[in-house]
Amino acid sequence: MFAMPSFKAAVAHAAPVYLDPAATVDKACAIIAEAARNGARIVAFPESYLPGFPVWAALFRPIETHDLFARFAAASVRADGPEIAAIRQAARAHGILVSLGFSEANPVSIGGLWNSNILIDETGAVLVHHRKLVATFFEKLVWAPGDGAGLRVADTSVGRVGALICGENTNPLARFALMAEAEQVHISSYPPVWPTRPPEDAGNYDNRGANLIRAAGHAFEAKVFGLVSAGCLDDNAKRIIANGSSEAAEMLEKCPAAPSFFVDPTGKRIGDELTEEGIGYAEIDLSGAVEPKRFHDVSAGYNRFDVFDLRVDRTRHSPATFTEMDAPGPADLPDPGGVAEE
């Protein structure tokens, strides 16, 4: 039987302490504690909240960003490192599920990074560790492609929870993979801004409109409740990102900012919508997805599985496979030759 709990959900519309992973973890733990005190059973953080989103990759030529990339790489964290351990401890201490976006350091490459998201339960256990399948646009200058190992839905106390990172919410196959695992709650995480044109040009990317279309579209197709968590930038983050450039600073001020919000299984917005820093809340009752499923349930009766066949490889990739052998004994060593017997 499917669980149909009613619960309060939270999204953290929060600015990181940019490129300071320890201070950002402290801030995240405080947000986790506040959300739990206010009755939330799950809280979702933005894309690359730890240690911040690399907006600078959109604002400067690649040859001008080596120093920022080096700082970003140094501030990125290991999935098994002390920063994620502290988040797990906070989830356990406050009895709340946590979804966190972070820039993940590659243990076999000093400059290798992934755009990752981790879902943690109330005991501090990691349920899903996902690496973004494809970096989007200028992100390719920062993050490597992930794999399908984290493309899965977790069975939790608030229902079956899935998550995708930013542009993955535009990928119909990634979304269907989660639908096919009986997703009930969908978390989508986004950056604070997404610059696509100089500030004097019209037509910069509309974060609010695009993110609402994607969240509502997935909620309507999958018949799920959506938690949308986007970041925001404080003055310190803007200063570091602009890196002394007045043009970059102007772009950060003029670029449309992304909000954080919630949608129901019809795509309608519910609960809080935040454009200023804070924690937003919504009351969710999973039984509200049952009636919409009667109309078109694409993971059940409203599909043709004899016509369509989706296969998902959830292998965790590694750069090499090593086959070890026992250390050789004296009899296994080659004859050095050239030694005359007496």
Contacts made by residues 57-62, CB under 8 angstroms, sequence distance 24+? 57/138, 57/139, 57/141, 57/142, 58/137, 58/138, 58/194, 58/195, 58/196, 59/195, 59/241, 59/242, 59/245, 59/247, 59/248, 59/251, 59/252, 60/243, 60/245, 60/248, 62/141
CA terminus-to-terminus distance, the chain: 84
Given the residues 27, 29, 132, 232, the one annotated as active site = 132
Residue 8 catalytic?
no
Residue 255 catalytic?
no
Distances in whole angstroms, Cα of residue 320 to Cα of each of 88, 108, 110, 277, 317: 30, 11, 17, 43, 9
Task: For the beta carbon of residue 208, count every other beta carbon within 10 angstroms.
Answer: 15
Both tokens of 155, joined, read 């069975």
Give the separation between CA 284 and CA 280, rounded to whole angstroms: 13
Give the separation between CA 64 and CA 94, rounded to whole angstroms: 43
Residue 166 catalytic?
yes
3-class DSSP state for residue 140?
helix
Given the residues 27, 83, 122, 166, the one annotated as active site = 166
CA-nearest of 123, 172, 177 to 150 is: 177
Q: Catalytic amino acids? A: 47, 132, 166
